[in-house]
Structures are given as C-alpha cells and as structure tokens.
Chain A
Amino acid sequence: MTTTAATVLAVVWLAAGTGPADAHVLEGARLFRENRFAEALVEFRVAERLGAAEARAYAGAALVKLDRPEDALELFEGPGAPAPGAHPLLDYYHALACYGARLYRCADQLLATVGERTGPRIAEQARQIRRDIASALPAEPPADSVDWYLARAAERAAGGRTVLARAFAAEARALGAGRPDRHGVAQAEAVLAKLPPSAAPLAP
C-alpha cells in the first residue's frame, strides 16, 4: 500500500461512522485495496446485510475484479443499485461488467459519462475501451449478433436472472435498431415488456 493510500485509510477509518455496517464497508475497502477481492466481496455482502445499501455496488466492483461480470451486472442494475452517474468510479466498474458480459453498447454508454471525473488513468483506460468497442462494432451489426443477444436474453430469463435477461434484450434491441431491417428489435421489445423494469436504467 502506498503512503497516500495508508493515510487516506487512516483518516477515513477515524472519520467513518461507528455502525457495524460501516466497519464492514471499511474492511471491505481495505481488503479490496490489498487485492483480496473475494474477502472484500464478503465484507461488502455482510455490510449490505447489516443495512449499508451502498455496499451492493462495491460488491459489484469486487465481482468485476473476480471476473464475474454477469454477477456484477446483477448488482449494478438490480434492486437497490445506484443510478448511473451517481459515482463515476462505480460507473466505470459497471461499464467493465457490461464489457465483460459482451454488452458493448451498455459499456460504451457508461464510459461516455465517466469522462475525466475519475482521474487521468481511469479516463485514459475508458477512452481506450471505447476505441476498442468502436472498432469492434460494425456500423451495421450482423443479424447473427442480434440473435446471439436474444438467445442469451431468453436463456437468462428462463434461468430466473431477469436483470441479465433485460440487459441482453436491451443490447439486442440497440443493435437491431442499427440495421435497416431492424432485425430482432420487435422480438427484443417483446422480451423487455415481459421483464420487470431495471432499477438502474440506461438510455434506450
């Protein structure tokens, strides 16, 4: 840990609330800083159980680090999730979760809002990811790609993971809308109509 980080940790520790949930959030943050993401996730989950609603998004960030993007996405977009734009760093992790789940439109939208608010290093990484997405996404998305997202949405809906189903259906709708024949758009909207609304909606 750097001296600056240790100082920040000490200051925050002293300044933080004394409730049991805050202590677990702090412990989770310390573990996260030490790259102990599984233990950090546990602390954030415990904090959430003890009433720290904001810990849910931090758990999402830990899941991104643990390479569980779909699990993370359920926390970033499920009930109790912070609205996009509330904190740029959480938006950045939310975008990484979208990117890991191959939800490139979702990732691009979030990264566009991150801007310079997270500092120069993250901002540069966000720009690089956006460049990668722009070069990977063709102007007219192939119908096969739209179908792939629709199939994923159906699978996740069948498995009861409605947050993911909504995310994949929304991606399919956005991709299909980029085609002259609007392939799959109606199908995606039909899927979305059957699903509960997102707790943290992005622009359609």
Chain B
Amino acid sequence: VILPLLAAALLAQTSPDPRDPCAPVTPGSPDPAAAETYEAVADEERAAGREESAVAAYRAALERDAGRGGARAALEGMCAARRREKAFTDGLARVRSGDCRGALPSLDEARRAGDPAAALLAGVCRYQLGEDDGAADALREAAGDEETRASAELYLGLLALRGGRPGEASPLFRAAAADPGLAPVARALARDARQEGRVVLALLGEASWDSNVDAAPRRALGAEDVGDAVGGATALLTVAPWRERGPYVRGAFTLQEQARRDAYDLLATSLAAGLPLGPGTRRLLLEYGWDLRRVGGAPYLSAHRLLAEGRAVVREGLTAGAAYALRGETFHGAELEDDSGLRHGFQLDVTAALRRARVTVGWQGGWNGARVEPRASTEHGPLLGLSAPLTPRVRVVLELALAWRVWRAVDPDLEVRRRDSYLDAATRLELDLAERWTAYLGVAGRRTSSNVPDLRYGRVVPTAGISYTAGLF
C-alpha cells in the first residue's frame, strides 16, 4: 500500500528547502513516548555526523515534549554552531572581496558565539584598519585557541611593533614561528623587532671593487687601469623617543678608502631630523637633513635638504607612495662651484606584495638648478624594485632604474647640448647570520649613453659586506 506513495516520493526532483531548521520550535500535540524515539534518532544522526537530520529530529522531539532538556540543549548547541558558521562565512566572503570593515559585524557575531577563527579574522581586519585596541582584544581571544594561536601571536607582534613595543613583539614573533607555515615571516619579523628601539645603532663594513672609479669613457676601459678596490665603513645612529610615532634624529658617518686612488677617498657625514605623521595606513614623513662630503681629503659638497614623503595603503598588499625632495647644494673647489644650486627630486611608486615577494614599480625624476645653465639639467625615468625571500634566512633584492637626462644649455666646451641616459642595476643577496647580524653579497652596475661619445661609460661594483643592527630601549 505504501509503495505507490513511496514510488511517487522517490521519483521527486530535488529543489531547495526554504524552511529554517533553527527557527523557534512550535509546540504540537504532547506525545512524550514519540518524543523519546525522535530524540534517540536525533542522537544517532548526530553521532553519524548528519547534522541536518539531527536538527530535524531534535525539533520533532521538542514539538512533542518541550520539557526534554537534553534535546533542547543539543538543538541550541547545533543551531548556535550553524549561526556562528554562517556569520563567519559571510564575514570571510566580505574580507575576500576586500571589504574588511563590512565584514566586522558578521565576524564579531561569530566571535561572540566563541569562534576563534572569527576572532582572528576580526583582529586582522582591525589591524589593517588601524584600530589597534580593538584588534588586540580580538587577537588575544584568538590566541586562546590552539588552532589560531600562532597567527594571532604574529599579528599581536605586528601590533606591538606598530605601537612602538619591539621588546614585546620579538617573543610573540618567535612563538608564532613555531607554526611551519608562518615561520619564514615570523622569523623575519622577530629579526626586525630586535633591530628596532628608541635608539637604533647600525654598523656596516664592506669591501668592493670599482671597475671604473672616475667614470672614464668606455673606450678607456682596458686601455688603462681605471679600477680600484674600496674598503668602507658606515655607522648610523637613530634616536626616536616615540619610536615610529614621533620625531626622530639620525646621524650617519661613512668612510671609504680607495686602495690606490686616494683622490677618491670619501668621508661623508649626514644629519637628519624628521617627523612622521598619521597612522600606518596613511603615513606622511617630513624630514630636514644636512650632508657634508669630503673627497680626497678636501671639502667636496655640503647640502641642506628637505623631504616630504607620503604613503598610503590602497588595499591589502598594495601601497602607493609619493615623495618630493629639495636640496640646496654647495660644491667646493673652483671646478665644481658652478654645479651648486637647488635640486628638486620626485618619486611616485606603487608597492605590491605578490606571494612572498615585494615588488615596487615607479617613476622618478629631478630638476637640477645649477647656478650655471650648461650644468643644469632635468631627468626622469622608471624604476623597478624586487625583494623576495629565497629561504627563511636568505633574501634577494633587485633594483633597476633608467633615467633620461637633458642638459639645459649647450656645453661651451663640448659645443653641444648633452642628452644622456643612465641605466643602473643592482642585485644583492642578504643572509641573516643572527638576529642582529646580516651578511650580503651584491653587484651594482651603471651603463651610460650620451650624444657625446666620449662621455659614455660603464661601471661594475661587486661588494661583500656585513652589518650589525641593534635596537635599544
């Protein structure tokens, strides 16, 4: 008798069920015996992992006997998990579409229901939105669960770093490095944290070979010995009482000694004071600096400079930056004085995080207002930068820049208005020896072209060096 009905039923086509299985249960005719059977079936379905039918069976039990506490608790627990899952899924979808702020209500709802993954995602969103206090609360919740602890510690470390507490950040990064998936990033951040502080001291020593010290024309290469070995050392001290959230002063001292061509020995001193403004997502930096250079033991250049640089997060993993620099340069010596004057420079760039690499593409240019017109020029050209980790401790850096320079007037000696181009390329392999020690091998090169053949030259400078950076206080 039943088979025809079942046949009709089994032939049915599938379509969505519009009923909400977690709506309030409407009591029906009391039937405690049936309710007991439904609850037994519900428990079996739940044990078999068939959540949908378990929910339906618990509802059926409660419709017949509202007093079944076990069924009610089980149903509420399963429905809470469903609501939490739905809220998390909604939030995740918004995060993936780039709407972190729009995701927060859903994520917070899931978080209130005890979902640590939602707490983690809410913390990351608030971190990206610059809401550090709210981010810290959410991330601390996520750190309480084993599954989300490592990621939460990583972001808590980033918060500490942004809040000027590198001492607090470093152990968080080291803890996050316990997760193999986060280890490369966490170790790098731990290293950075150890290199930050109110006072940062960096020491650098390097040895290099300059294939063309005095930029001799290309035809001279090989015809005479134009190369020389160079040894150099730099000390850099930064004092930032408010870390990256307040004014700072910085001093740098560089010494470069040529092996044979003492006339090119360099002594450079640079002092700067700066003020960063705005949150990390929209940063403006104003800086004043003074540079002094001596070459071959004689005064060469002194310059006052101003820098304004802005950078903003466009979306996750993408920033845009703009910088303007103004230098008042005074060259010393009869042959160089005419080069003195104001120099303007600009750079526009975007930087994107692509997987684990960081790529910068931009355009730079300048206007050199030397006091004597034939020495003045304008230039501009593209630039490309790439930085990528090869292993957790080794990074490769590649920089390329091309500039086209046009001189403002005819050179009286050459009797031609110069048009030059400069192609600069540099690559560097960096190896972290310890948290404060980094070794590097690099090679930089320049190739120029000019409408004056005698001014074309090439230059290659391989370098090996080691640096020590320590953050104090």
Contacts and interface: CB of A to CB of B under 8 A. Distances in A.
Interface of A: 4-5, 8-9, 11-13, 15-17, 20, 22, 25-26, 29-30, 32-42, 45-46, 49-50, 54, 58, 61, 63, 65-66, 68, 71, 87, 89-90, 92-93, 119, 121-122
Given A38-B21, A50-B37, A66-B52, 10 more contacts: A9-B8, A29-B5, A32-B9, A35-B14, A38-B17, A38-B50, A40-B9, A41-B56, A66-B50, A89-B11
Interface string B56-94: 110010000000000000000000000000000000000
Contact of B53 (A5, A15, A38): A38
A58 B55 contact: no
7 contacts: A26-B2, A33-B8, A38-B50, A45-B53, A46-B60, A50-B37, A90-B10
B214 interface: no
Contact of B5 (A8, A37, A42, A45): A8
Interface of B: 1-17, 19, 21, 34, 37-38, 40-42, 44-45, 48, 50, 52-53, 55-57, 60
Contacts of A38: 17, 21, 50, 52-53, 55-56
Interface centre among B8, B16, B57 (most CB of A within 10 A): B8
Contact of B12 (A8, A11, A35, A68): A35
Given A35-B12, A36-B17, A49 B5 contact: no
A58 B6 contact: yes
B33 to A, nearest CB: 9
Given A9-B5, A12-B4, A17-B1, A61 B10 contact: yes
Q: What 8 pairs across the A-B complex have the smallest Cβ distances?
A: A32-B9, A12-B5, A38-B52, A33-B9, A38-B53, A29-B9, A42-B57, A45-B41
A71 B17 contact: no
Interface centre among B7, B9, B14 (most CB of A within 10 A): B9
Nearest to A33: B9
A26 B363 CA distance: 76
Given A35-B17, A49-B40, A121-B11, A41 B5 contact: no
Given A33-B9, A66-B53, A8 B17 contact: no
Contact of B10 (A22, A26, A32): A32
Contacts of A71: 48, 50
A25 B56 contact: no
B14 A29 contact: no
Contacts of B19: 36
Given A39-B56, A42-B57, A26 B5 contact: yes
Nearest to B42: A42
A46 B52 contact: no
Contacts of B13: 35
Contacts of A49: 37, 40-41
A22 to B, nearest CB: 7
Contacts of B8: 4-5, 8-9, 29, 33
Contacts of B16: 35
Main secondary structure of the interface of B (DSSP, over half): helix
A25 B204 CA distance: 83
B169 to A, nearest CB: 45
Contacts of A65: 14
Contacts of A11: 4
B7 A89 contact: yes
B242 to A, nearest CB: 59
B41 A22 contact: no
Given A35-B17, A45-B41, A30 B2 contact: no
A89 B4 contact: no
Contacts of B14: 35, 65
Contacts of B2: 12, 16, 22, 25-26, 29, 54
Contacts of B21: 38
Contacts of B44: 45
A4 to B, nearest CB: 8
A156 to B, nearest CB: 14
Given A9-B5, A17-B1, A89-B7, A42 B12 contact: no
B12 A32 contact: yes
Contact of B41 (A36, A42, A54, A58): A42
Contacts of B7: 89
Contact of A8 (B4, B15, B37, B53): B4
A88 B77 CA distance: 40
A54 B48 CA distance: 21
Contacts of B45: 41-42, 45
Contacts of B55: 38
A30 B6 CA distance: 8
Contacts of B37: 46, 49-50
Contacts of A32: 6, 9-10, 12
Contact of B56 (A15, A42, A122): A42
Contacts of A63: 50
Nearest to A49: B37
B1 to A, nearest CB: 5
A12 B10 CA distance: 15
Nearest to A93: B10
Nearest to A43: B60
A121 B8 CA distance: 13
A22 B2 CA distance: 8
Nearest to B16: A35
A90 B12 CA distance: 13
A66 B49 CA distance: 12
Nearest to A74: B48
A37 B50 CA distance: 12
Nearest to B55: A38
Contact of B38 (A33, A42, A119): A42
A12 B15 CA distance: 24
Contacts of A42: 38, 41-42, 45, 53, 56-57, 60
Nearest to B5: A12
